[in-house]
Structure 1
């Protein structure tokens, strides 16, 4: 009966265009398909499944329930159905269906569930390609929630037992995660999908430090005994290092100080205090992964950290907007600013670079309007770093925006005084020959400032003076940038075509290539990575061009009578 119903609904659905099946069709297919599987007609289900791909994932629950049973006569056909579902159905729907089965698995069957479902979950994630980061985060969160339900081993003997649920699941979980960790390792070319993947893996590792590792009572009496949970801890700490986090940086992570700045809640999500405490306990009490931790902190790093904290302590006692130009001219201010730039750009410790940037902003906030103006002028002259210059230009824009609001008018970020500063902003260091990738941060912020000004400042009011000098800005900045963009895009598009054509049937995927763009030799990398780097560069040029085109359109409209 069930087999006949299934055949009927499949024949009906084959006549429907664009897979626009009715809710009744879904219900009949699901009920009949489940009944056929439960009655042992798996081979017949397999033969017709490819005809109705979009409904196939509804068969996951009965398949998983049968496969989780210890004795299944038709296990092979059921496995074949599952394999076909993973191949033909939508990965998004499969992901939801598989996670539902993980969540609904009783605790006593969780080990079997992991053994059965982790491989399909990995296959589905791989089908998502570069879009898999957020889905991986959801999968890892769900798996950890299930692991947290398992009882803790009460002795070293229990922990060493291959069949202890928690130990077995933790071991399986790390085997599942390891390929994603390898994929997320920092290295050229860096791209946003990798960054998203690192964030999700960071959250997973930090959550694992809290649950289950914070609750584990490690037994150190027998160092030679097998300890799956100790191995799990080692893998978690190794994964943190692999995705670019330093153990010493995590131990010293200043979570509490981040409460004073915007975005600290995001920091607490990524770096929970309980997880950091668990990390410190694993390192200093049980000496897990201690070989990757410096025996002594680098002296200069330790001093930089203390110096930054001392400077912050001095700054917080100063009222915002009260430091004048006279005080700014004291040589110490210039020296400290230059030191902050060096920390932000050269310090190998990520947490110190981040802190240096926040301290720089804190010091900027203390200056009055004139002092800010002079400071920005000075920094654009001495920084020699695109990222720092971009950050200063962003501050200039914020200060202009503040000055344009009623009651905030001043002589420094409006009118005559503003123009010399904007001339420092709207400039190409080497004219059309400027390396646009090297100066990307600076140029994007400069374009954003110019776009903001032509939108915000009306031609009839011209409070900033941008319309007075528009012709000079076009000649000195916009037109050379247009030429530079055209030249750069042509170079990279030509190199991309050459690389892709050279790969067709001639170069193996893992072989190393060396590519020159203009006079610049790109580092050796695989052909796939080389193509990805060229695409990334072209995407950067497209972003710059889109903002430039928007500015040109706005200028043209406002120039019309």
Structure 2
């Protein structure tokens, strides 16, 4: 009896446990169904939640809220349809402006990489993603100074580092030793992006000068990674630099339009600077290349850099030219190289830097490099370049610089072995460009004062150095033409200019007195048909007296030249009479 009564509670407990297990299983089944349903909804509709979640993350709210948002975001990345999620992420990357561009990119790069790797065909997705990323990055201002690079206010440096990490798995996939069309297409998309990065931001980026800080320079590191990627996808530095100019066949399957070809020229010019000036990847180049061959390779890229107006770009052209020229010995650059377009375009680009650049240090560097370029040319090359610059520079200071160089070459010819390019008929062809006034007696002598003074000094040197009986330079044969084309018009022009400026000084003095009586502080003066900008009368008088001083200086040198000519011709006549 006791044994039977004791069994009943055990049977009741077992029934209850069995019911609890059944209920738990039913709950689990329903939970699985609910989770599956939720996953289905999230997979098809969840990408709509990505925008609000990302905006919440970008608001930089409380830490707990941010953690919750990150968990939701990770779940969405795992469950959402990857194709729809890709488009949603790219739309979010395209939306922001200013500093939010980098914040959005840094937040979405890793999820974007995860989503693309889920897609079966990556070529289109990678190309679309890289194009969108670069379009946004190109809107960010490039930091120039060391301080700007360190603060990185707009996040460009951080984005450059993150981009290389984003690209790495796709580069590895494209180079996994499987030869197929998809891999080749993926390489082309990566190549396009690398070329774009070479143009922006690397073409305009400034690099830290201190060698010990190279490793800390984000742009140097980014450039190194990009050049490394180019090598991995089948476009190493030697192939690009040595084969550039053979057009599309050197760039895989890329079909380049005219505008893209111009962009490619900027990219290769940037790459050349990185290799030869920054030394990134230079160890890949064959060591047997001669300095002349390297200069020829680089001149086209130097021309591209000097044509740009941004200081950060054309200054790289100056550095690349200096690097290339310093490898050469003086007088070793043969004149036949000037038949190549870029070898004449580059010195003309230097002239633009010398005359138009607002930064004095760069103007001086342009002048020094033009002199270095002249020193490297052989005699015929110097002669050809001088003719070109005299005909094209249209700047009195540059023409005066060229004329001084002509004088130096004539002097070297007198001191050393006679050089046919700076004596006789060949020299006369240069003197015809030097010893004349462009508009005769009506030439603006003040504007052309540098050229005129250099011309008079050259003529004075020739008269002293070359005797009429020797006539090594051919000067004395051409003396009549020089007097008619240069000396006589210069006399007339000086008389006209001095009279005009003296009259303007009297007029300015009268205006100054009138201004004082009416309590006005400025007045205007017209010189050469153009009104001098309004300035205090005392300042205008200084300008006018300075012009008169310049005319007096020209006149004194002119008088000395004519005196020397008279002495030389008289002396020669007396010698001839004595011989007879």
**TM-score, L = length of structure 1:** 0.46
Larger radius of gyration: 2
| Higher helix proportion | 2
